[in-house]
Amino acid sequence: MDYNVIIVGSGPAGIFCALELIANAPHLKILIIEQGKDIDRRHCPMNTKKGQACMSCPECELVSGWGGAGAYSDGKLTLSPEIGGFLTRYIETAELQALIDYVDGLYVHYGAPVELHGSDTHAVNGIKNLAARNDMTFIPSQIRHIGTDKCRDVLSNMRKAIDGKADTIFEKVVQRIIVDKKKVVGVKLRDGLEIRADFVILAPGRASSRWLETESRRLRLTLLKNPVDIGVRVEVPASVLEPLTRVTYEPKLVFYSKKFDDRVRTFCVNPYGEVVKEHIKGIWTVNGHSYSAKRTNNTNFAILSSTFFTEPFDEPISYGMYIARLANFLGGGVIVQRLGDLIKGRRSTPERIARGIVEPTLTDSTPGDLSFVLPYRYLSNILEMLEVMDRVAPGVNSRHTLLYGVEVKYYSMQLRLTNCLETEIHDLFAIGDGAGVSRGLIQASASGVIAAREVIRRQR
């Protein structure tokens, strides 16, 4: 089985890589290998069995399969080179902006809505000035919101466009990357099958970032450090953030904590959305969704604290997994706590949650005490952030505010890459969130285009 190009992973990075190759080099023989299921076969048992069957899923269908984690995300396309990744490490800002516009156009072509949020410059500047007066940086960006319920439609349209023009195999796991004399020659699947290719493009996503790290160490590739992001998901009445979300849909706020000078930021704001669980490699974490066709009474968002570890410690992903596993150990899954209870040093109980004015949208969570889970440094950063946010959005720092824990992002490893995202092994590329080059749909998709264009250039 020989191919010109093998793409490992069918998340946004892998999909856009394939689309670009098909559009500009249709003669290439392309294979996409995905450990999860096809888009029409992805069904999370939490929706029907309240999570009772989740532990038996070999690969979590919320994060694996065609579309990757993006298939069940809220589908926000952030059209700013400053947000959602690190591609400015590899290409100039103007070039990245042009690439973002190109990728955004493809999303619209395949069914994303035309409407853009954050285009009112006067209102956006008002938020920016208000944040600055309160010790925060507001990063403005235009945002196109697809919605969790519509993401599958967009991804299905992309699937149809690729079908018949590239081979795709599902529920197959790549075990090893095959290299000969610093040149990639193919991959070996877990079932023993070896498949040869001229180029291999790794797009494993966050769910398989640990596999990519393991393989990179085996191949003696240079690993660079990204910060590990650990925090909580915050849930408040939608009216609290309405003055911000009405203008920009997803307000991006950055704060440097006074006590530790750590970078703390808001992430993945979901107006009128719901809090959800994710199950990755035996560990429960928390996330958020928002929809185009239905609303709840709440808005949720993450507060994440970023930490760069220094020598001798070199396992940021393992550290994040350890924190999440501890929360699971103490709470049997995701822990929820009222902010007022956390400040008073007591655990939340079902009765205390019920007396609050914020009705939790994630009912399958355990009232508990996050101070037994999160190290003091992270708790201090989160509480400081909530205090300053309350000056911009009064009500965020309410005793009734709900905190779900923990939220961890497993993209803390980054490979040394060239400006075309090639690794130190010739013709082996690494793209997307799992490779540490992106943190969102748009830049993940853009990274796929960058790698594809280099492959096309070398094939000419």
Comparing 46 with 184, which gets the higher pLDDT?
A: 184
Looking at the predicted structure, is the pLDDT value of residue 51 above 50?
no
Same domain, 239 and 201: no
Secondary element (H or E) of residue 414: strand 413-415
Looking at the predicted structure, is the pLDDT value of residue 426 above 80?
yes
Same domain, 266 and 370: yes
> Is residue 130 in some structural domain?
no
Same domain, 62 and 23: yes
pLDDT on residue 282: 80
Beta strands per DSSP E along 148-262: 167-170, 174-180, 183-189, 194-202, 223-225, 228-237, 253-256
Same domain, 296 and 435: no
Looking at the predicted structure, is the pLDDT value of residue 1 above 80?
no
> Is residue 55 in some structural domain?
yes
CATH of the domain at 156: 3.50.50.60
Quickly state the pLDDT bin for 411 (edges 50, 70, 90): low
Structural domains in the chain (count): 2
Same domain, 256 and 295: yes
pLDDT on residue 249: 93
How many other C-beta atoms are found inside a 10 Å radius of the C-beta of residue 176? 14
> Is residue 136 in some structural domain?
no
pLDDT on residue 45: 67
> Is residue 211 in some structural domain?
yes
Mean per-residue pLDDT over the chain, rounded: 92
Same domain, 402 and 447: no
- Under 8 Å between Cβ of 186 and 196: yes
pLDDT on residue 53: 47
Domain with 338 in it: 227-409
pLDDT on residue 410: 65
Looking at the predicted structure, is the pLDDT value of residue 289 above 60?
yes
Q: Which two tokens stand for residue 230?
A: 């650990």
- Using DSSP's 3-state secondary structure scheme, residue 138 falls into strand
- Under 8 Å between Cβ of 33 and 8: yes
Same domain, 356 and 214: no
Cβ-count burial 115-134 (b if 16+ within 10 Å, e if not): eebbeeeeebeebbebbeeb
Looking at the predicted structure, is the pLDDT value of residue 134 above 80?
yes
Task: State the residue for tokens 């970032």.
Answer: 209
> Is residue 127 in some structural domain?
no
Same domain, 251 and 217: no
> Is residue 131 in some structural domain?
no
Same domain, 213 and 278: no
pLDDT on residue 54: 54
pLDDT on residue 158: 97
Looking at the predicted structure, is the pLDDT value of residue 50 above 70?
no
Looking at the predicted structure, is the pLDDT value of residue 112 above 80?
yes
Same domain, 56 and 87: yes
Same domain, 201 and 250: no
Show Cβ contacts of residue 68 under 8 Å, excluding neighbours closer than 6 positions.
9, 10, 11, 12, 14, 205, 207
> Is residue 133 in some structural domain?
no
Q: pLDDT tens digits, residue range 295-312? A: 999 999 999 998 877 777
- Under 8 Å between Cβ of 223 and 316: no
Q: pLDDT tens digits, residue range 310-349? A: 777 777 778 888 999 999 999 988 999 999 999 999 999 9
Q: pLDDT tens digits, residue range 162-202? A: 999 999 999 999 999 999 999 999 999 999 999 999 999 99
Q: What are phi and psi of 246, to 5 degrees?
A: -65, -30
Q: pLDDT tens digits, residue range 64-104? A: 889 987 777 889 999 999 999 999 999 999 999 999 999 99
Average pLDDT over residues 358-377: 96
> Is residue 42 in some structural domain?
yes
Looking at the predicted structure, is the pLDDT value of residue 269 above 90?
yes
Pairing verdict, β 335-338 and 283-289: unpaired
Same domain, 256 and 331: yes
pTM: 0.87
